[in-house]
Amino acid sequence: MLEELKKAVLEANLALSRAGLAPGTWGNVSGIDRGRGLFAIKPSGVPYAALTVDSMVLVDLAGKAVEGRFKPSSDTSTHLEIYCEFSEVGGVTHTHSTVATAFAQAEQPIPCLGTTHADHFDGQVPVTRRLTPAEVAKDYERETGKVIVEAFLEYGIDHARMPAVLVAGHGPFTWGRDAMEAVANAIALEEVARMARDTILLRRAFAQPVAPLPSHLLRKHFDRKHGPGAYYGQGQSWDGR
């Protein structure tokens, strides 16, 4: 089972690279086996082209690497904090994708301006506060995870309905039921960030105010894919052909 987990996490990391969201080594994906209390994560600083199943590092829920010849990602403690606090999460992705990172650097949430955004995220994507000098000096990566959790508690956001966040001055984190879904959410996040930026620029060019998507459309589009009565897609009976 752990070999399957490492393989899934490798495939998710390669998918992240193919999507163009992780130039160089700017990104990482992990996936967790909660029954065994272990998660697999990309090794720190290793190019995507060089990754293999054996490159993946297994880490326990105390943050200790227990298998693998490489050091785990420098963001491991952030992933760990998300896993510990968001119990349904099965995979975590971190990128420095261009437009979502620009929103994070501007310390601005990504507003929900259209139905494409609403198909993936239940409202505007939140941005955290900046970490304090004391937090950075104490345990930077773990404190990054803590400030993510803090933002969701402060704003009363359900992490299952908002599988993304912008860390102020840093970049986006996304999550999902497994590693590949976390990557899919990272791809969606970058696209809706691009759409939001372009919409804001166009409306300003035409001297029009920027208005969020009406709540009834937001509810309809999010819930038809993710709500209890979801009807988007082919359901469990579809075999993919």
- Give Cα 106 to chain centroid, integer Å: 18
Distance CA 112, CA 145 (A): 24
CB 11 within 8 A of CB 46: no
SS3 91: strand
Residue 50 contacts by C-beta under 8 Å, 6 or more apart in sequence? none
Buried residues in 38-58 as b, exposed as e (16+ CB within 10 A): bbbbbbeebebeebeeebbbb
Please give the structure tokens belonging to residue 145.
């995870």
Please give the structure tokens belonging to residue 150.
């803090």
119, 139, 140, 223: which one is catalytic? 119
As beta bridge partners, residue 31 has: 40, 91
Distance CA 227, CA 202 (A): 32
Distance CA 86, CA 103 (A): 24
Tell me whether residue 119 is one of the annotated catalytic residues.
Answer: yes
54, 158, 198, 232: which one is catalytic? 232
234 vs 115, 225, 226, CA distance in Å?
20, 11, 13
> What amino acid positions are annotated as catalytic residues?
119, 232
